[in-house]
Amino acid sequence: MVGVAPGRNTQTERRRLQIGPVSVAYQVAGAGEPIVLIHGLSGSGRWWSRNIPALAARFQVHVLDLIGFGGSRGRQAFVLAEAAAYVLAWMDHLELHRASLVGHSMGGFIAADLAAGFPERVCRLVLVDAAALPFDSSHLRRPRGLVQAMRGLPLTFWPVLATDALRAGPITIARAARELLRTDLTSRLTHITTPTLIVWGRHDTIVPPTVGEQLSRSLPDARLALIDNAGHNPMWDQPDVFNHVVTDFLAGDQGSRLDRLGSAADD
């Protein structure tokens, strides 16, 4: 794990913010340059619990529960096309005029969408196994791929996944998944001018690493890091490696660990 500076407070504070009809749940930890963590489909801020302390040692970390998920459930339905605008409105309320974004899976789609539309608001961008490009949707329906993904999940992650999926509910998850598969960001990717790190689990059977490789070629200023012994959730599967790689990138440090991973991704 990235070392925590002596005396540095990395304790997480849970907060709520009313944005129109929606009560948005989020967490804040640490101090320094702001970063925003955006979870994926059926998830919540809890998916980042192995990363918050390490990141908060260098940054002020904001962990958002998307509308319809985690603690941000209510009458307002999740709409993928509106998600980036809601994240931006939330940032405005918190006076986060410029922040780095870290998005996982569907959260990566949302982070990329926001960075494409409002590049002046994004300092650096990290896309983690991001569903930001079209890929063969039949892959999701192949029992073998899904079974492999389920088998590869650490036992410690099962309670988190099950609880968050139950809280979001099948209707919200199914609707969001359909929108994700039908929406194509390809034409907008060239508008992303911010430095971007693409992090992928080498053994992701849900969104395959070939998507990450294609995504790295589609962005003007991007590099790809493949993490060994990790699937669709590298921030949970290999938190120490993930924390080092992301911290180095967000801090502008082209450290040896990031360089080694980047070289491995090019092999």
5 located within any domain: no
Q: Give me the phi and psi of 33, to 5 degrees please.
A: -65, 135
Distance CA 135, CA 133 (A): 6
Would residue 37 count as lying in a domain?
yes
The domain that holds 169 is classified in CATH as 3.40.50.1820
Tokens of 265: 């991704």
Per the domain annotation, does 8 fall within a domain?
Answer: no
Residue 182 within a domain: yes
The total domain count for the chain is 1
For residue 1, being part of any structural domain is answered with no
4 in a domain, yes or no? no
141 domain residue, yes or no: yes
User: CB burial class (10 A; 0-12, 13-18, 19+) of residue 8?
Assistant: middle
Do residues 234 and 201 touch, judged by C-beta distance below 8 A? yes
* 125-187-183-24 Cα dihedral, nearest 10 degrees: 30
pTM of the model: 0.89
pLDDT in tens, the chain (267 residues): 444 444 456 789 999 999 888 899 999 999 999 999 999 999 999 999 999 999 999 999 999 999 999 999 877 899 999 999 999 999 999 999 999 999 999 999 999 999 999 999 999 999 999 999 886 555 554 444 444 566 667 778 889 999 999 999 999 999 999 999 899 999 999 999 999 999 999 999 889 999 999 999 999 899 999 999 999 999 999 999 999 999 999 998 755 455 555 444 444
Is residue 144 domain-resident? yes
Output Rg (C-alpha) for the chain, integer angstroms: 17
Tokens of 207: 């969104």
Residue 100 sits in which domain range?
A: 13-266
